[in-house]
Chains A and B, each alone.
Chain A
Amino acid sequence: MGDRIPAGGTTRCDMPFAVETRDLTRIFAGKKRIRRKRHASEGEDGSGPVTALDHVAMEIHDGELFGLLGPNGAGKTTLIKILATLLLPTSGEAYVAGHDVAKDPFPIRQQINMVCGGETSGYGLLTTRENIWMFSQFYGVPSKVSKARIDELMHVFGLWDKRDTKVRMLSTGQRQKMNMIRGFVTDPSILFLDEPTLGLDVNAARVIRDYVMNWVRKRTGKTVLLTTHYMMEADEMCDRIAIIDRGKILACDTPANLKRMIRHDTTFRLEVDTLHDVTSFGSIRGVKNFSHREDIATNRAHLTFILEDESPVAEILSRITTQASKVHSLQKSEPTLEDVFISMVGRGLE
């Protein structure tokens, strides 16, 4: 083919990727035992099979901070679980640190760790420190080293004054910080973070983001795969991002390049009164895609339009006003990662 092979440097085949998947597919069988006879593709009614990952192919380099960005139910957690050897793929292959997740999980486990945000795991009767220490022992971290690391990390994550508190007395956020420390204390080469800042206050989230970024950038051979549905988080932290929706990877590139994909487009954001009909916006000439989100608290709708140029704005406004809806704000803005997502699927991330 026409592709030129780069002269010199390492070809990718020499160095195994930290993570590599090929045609990775995961289908969850429906919940109910007695299933109505339907085709496997029909999974929307909640009882049929769900395709959580659909022929996912991706490569994460050693030393990369890689983000998976997608809305709820996109398949992010499923992918992380497969890579962390917790779940088997239905078909396709996945390699972590060069080992097959299905056939050879043990050497993978020696090199990875995982932290899931928004959950409250931990042994309530142990103290925070004991709990983390115990997990480090499963990885053979020498007790002294482990204790020193725990103390250091507790200072970093602001859990120092809770070091001897029983886990059952911790708040949800404090437990999450404890779990973060549990993830770092084993010093893995590949760390999977599933929504690490979910439910944390702004400061704690900030601290965690900074720590993760430093951890990857200041040391060699550390790889992080992070999932999030906060586009700002993905944008700020990640070297590369895969945008995932309904089990499919729609795009995978650096944040800058992803945003460049829609650089010729114009993004408009509107805040209006609740609308009766939003589907018709799609038929306006020059509208490439749009998203619509109702804010129940304020009784307003947020619209984001990806436009070829500014010409459809007048038509959009007139359709809004004919629905007797008032426009509260209209703003032309720089494209964000969410806009990239909207341009591809016509929905927002939230």
Chain B
Amino acid sequence: MSTYWRTFKVAAWLGWEMDSNWTEPWLFVLYSILKPVAGAFILVLMYVVFATIGNTEDPSMFAYMYVGNAFFIFVASTLFGTFQVIQSDREWYQTIRYVYISPISYYVYILGRAASKVAVATFAVVVTLAFGIAFLGVEMGLSLADVPVLVAAFVLGIAVLLAIGICLGGISFLTAKHVHGLAEGIPGLFYVFCGVLFPLSALPEWGRSVGQAIPLTYWFDLTRRILVPGTSIDRTLNAYDDLTILLLLFASSLVFFALSVIIFRIGEYVARKAGKIDMTTSY
């Protein structure tokens, strides 16, 4: 256990150094604030386009997509944060063989590296939400009683994302090219089907089924229920109460965790067999 913790700490430190240390500290802070703000403006633009096309102006619709997009920051950065660890250690830093042969759990090492990405993403989400409330008139309300549910949902949502990311990592032990496509395609899939930008009810029947099969859909829904209690844009998941969704998220995080361990083990074994742990594909 102490080895796991030590590995996690060192890997998180390394991840943080890489995420933050590429420039002066003040520039990093500025960048961390400006980037989500820029993202918020793109959203405003998207909303204006939607509103013009649809000829409707619904502030609660704006709040819906604003919060959805803010939390989507987690999806992209957590998935990418886990998946690219193997890729970058192997191809850019060429350190993977030395990390791999050290007496640590490589799985935990990846989690540690990703932790810094999650921290950076959390900051970006907070900035986005604050900016929305302060300048864009997004109406959010959070009652103190809901905070534990929000936190639990957050933890479980991130856990699911990390597990999915490690599944991708396991595959990237074996191939470099295709995983890159996956790591970009999967967030795109989530973006469309999980009720991020537009509600599930806007999807065709089959699309709704796809959405309901992905645990993140429930995560987005629950988060939005708590943060924007006013909206009733989408009723698709109304049958599920908060606790059911938490349970669902808990169950899926377990399933994905098990899956990630299995895929990671297999990927690692096959890579070690094929001599691909430290391959450089110059991709």
Q: Could you tell me which A residues sit within 8 Å of B by CB distance?
A: 28-29, 81, 84-88, 106, 109-110, 112-114, 116, 119-126, 130, 134-135, 137-140, 182
Q: Tell me which residues across on chain B come within 8 A of A121, comparing CB atoms.
A: 93-95, 97-98
Q: Which of the 9-residue segments B12-20, B38-46, B72-80 touches chain A?
A: B12-20
CB <8 Å contact, B94 and A119: yes
Q: In the bound complex, do residue A138 and residue B99 qualify as a contact, i.e. CB atoms below 8 Å apart?
A: yes
Choice from B10, B17, B94, B97 contacting A86 with Cβ under 8 Å:
B97
User: In the complex the two chains form, what is the Cα distance from A256 to B94 in whole Å?
Assistant: 38
CB distance from A303 to the nearest CB of B (A): 37
The main secondary structure of chain B at its interface with chain A is: helix
Determine whether the beta carbon of A125 is less than 8 Å from that of B7: no
Chain A interface secondary structure, helix, strand, loop or mixed?
Answer: loop
Report B2 CB to chain A, min CB distance, Å.
8
Closest A residue to B94 using CB positions: A121
Closest 10 CB pairs of A and B: A121-B94, A138-B102, A109-B103, A137-B10, A110-B103, A88-B273, A121-B95, A138-B104, A88-B272, A84-B101
Q: Which residues B92-135 have CB closer than 8 A to chain A?
A: 93-95, 97-104
Taking a contact as CB atoms under 8 Å apart, the answer to whether B10 and A134 are in contact is yes
Instruction: Report the nearest B residue to A124, measured CB to CB.
Output: B93
Smallest Cβ-Cβ distance to B270: which chain A residue:
A88
Interface residue count on the B side (C-beta < 8 Å): 27
Name 28 A/B residue pairs within 8 A (Cβ), A-sorted.
A29-B274, A84-B97, A86-B97, A86-B272, A86-B277, A87-B272, A88-B272, A88-B273, A106-B103, A109-B102, A110-B103, A112-B101, A113-B101, A114-B98, A114-B101, A121-B95, A122-B95, A123-B93, A125-B17, A126-B14, A130-B17, A134-B14, A135-B102, A137-B6, A137-B10, A138-B99, A138-B102, A138-B104
Among B7, B93, B95, B103, chain A packs the most CB atoms within 10 A around the CB of: B103
Contact between A85 and B101 (Cβ–Cβ < 8 Å)? Answer: yes
A125 touches B18 (CB 8 A): yes
Choice from B3, B94, B97, B101 contacting A120 with Cβ under 8 Å: B94
Let me know if B22 is at the binding interface, CB within 8 A: yes
